[in-house]
């Protein structure tokens, strides 16, 4: 078993089972591994309180894979393959989505899109995905794994709250792993109360590649794993300024290079709990 020790230490802080002076955890707790500590730190999303709720009766989905009817609701379904959402006011909830393609749910251009209480699982190392979810809207309490990026936001307003993003994996030769990606055109984004176990690049990636970015609030998240930095705020591209970004009251396990990477932007950074990284991996 591979255990991300940085995440174990950080979650032990949240669970109240670590000495903050020595970072010492009991052998029993360490043997429980990352999953056990996630469950103990139950104030943050984990495998037990995200995704399809326990006891949900699931049915095989036989509807269209391209959604064109406004107001469509998909509830309690097992969906094998990617969905393309081309209608407004679409809701996907209490469902399992497994895909082997670029996007799990591609809702780019759709208005007032919601996906909640669902599992979205990509192909992992056996395929080349981009994101589990592409679009803007409301994304609540989803369990997302086995993709290069968890959620890629498109332009406009979005609420990303209570999700568990973990086990990012892709077969590309040089993947750019991000938990949540904000890369231009966004105005009014709330990223709150998520657990993101990142790797290589970032948990939250904010860059003005495709447009200006305004009013992004990253608050009260647990950002762990093994990223380069937990959060990037990079305004060096040509899309326009990055303004009114706040990074507050998060719990961050130190990335390989640090907690924050900021260029050509002036985010407000305050009230965060910056936890040590510890050794990178043990077996």
Give the Cα-Cα-Cα angle 190, 192, 193 (nearest 5 degrees).
165
CA distance 185 to 212: 5
Q: How far apart are CA 204 and CA 201, in angstroms?
A: 9
Each residue's pLDDT, cut to its tens digit, for the chain (283 residues) gives: 333 444 455 555 444 444 444 444 434 334 444 444 444 456 789 888 999 999 999 999 999 999 999 999 999 999 999 999 999 999 999 999 999 988 999 999 999 999 999 999 998 777 777 889 999 999 999 999 999 999 999 999 999 999 999 989 887 777 778 899 999 999 999 999 999 998 889 999 999 999 999 999 999 999 988 899 999 999 999 999 999 999 999 999 889 999 999 999 999 999 999 987 744 433 2
At residue 35, the 3 state secondary structure works out as: helix
The candidate with the shortest Cα–Cα distance to 193, out of 41, 60, 84, 58, is 41
Residues 6+ apart with CB under 8 A from 193: 44, 45, 161, 162, 219, 220, 221
Q: Are 17 and 40 in contact (CB under 8 A)?
A: yes
Print burial letters for 15-36: b (CB count within 10 Å at least 16), e (below 16). bebbeeeeeebeeebbebebeb
Largest Cα–Cα distance of the chain, in whole Å?
57
What Rg value do the Cα atoms of the chain yield, rounded?
Answer: 18
Q: How far apart are CA 138 and CA 222, in angstroms?
A: 19
Report pTM. Answer: 0.85
């Amino acid at each position: 078993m591979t255990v991300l020790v940085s995440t174990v230490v950080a979650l032990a802080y949240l669970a109240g089972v670590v000495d903050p002076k020595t970072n010492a955890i009991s052998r029993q707790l360490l043997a429980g591994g990352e999953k056990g500590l996630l469950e103990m730190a139950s104030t943050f999303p984990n495998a037990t309180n995200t995704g399809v709720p326990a006891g949900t009766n699931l049915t095989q989905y036989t509807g269209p894979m391209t959604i064109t009817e406004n107001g469509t609701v998909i509830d309690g379904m097992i969906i094998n393959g990617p969905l393309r959402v081309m209608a407004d006011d679409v809701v996907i909830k209490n469902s399992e989505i497994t895909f082997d393609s670029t996007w799990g749910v591609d809702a780019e251009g759709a208005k007032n899109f919601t996906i909640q209480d669902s599992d979205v699982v990509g192909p992992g190392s056996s395929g080349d995905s981009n994101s589990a979810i592409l679009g803007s809207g409301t994304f609540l309490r989803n369990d997302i794994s086995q993709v290069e990026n968890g959620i890629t936001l498109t332009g406009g307003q979005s609420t990303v709250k209570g999700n568990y993003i973990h086990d990012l994996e892709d077969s590309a030769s040089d993947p750019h792993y991000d938990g949540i990606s904000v890369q231009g055109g966004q105005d009014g984004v709330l990223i709150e109360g998520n657990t993101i176990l990142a790797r290589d690049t970032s948990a939250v990636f904010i860059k003005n590649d495709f447009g200006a970015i305004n009013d992004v609030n990253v608050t009260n998240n647990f950002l762990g794993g093994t990223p380069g930095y937990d959060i990037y705020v990079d305004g060096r591209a040509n899309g326009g300024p990055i303004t009114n970004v706040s990074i507050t009251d998060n719990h961050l396990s130190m990335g390989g290079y640090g907690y924050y990477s900021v260029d050509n932007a002036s985010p407000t950074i305050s009230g965060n709990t910056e936890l040590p990284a510890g050794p990178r991996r043990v077996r």
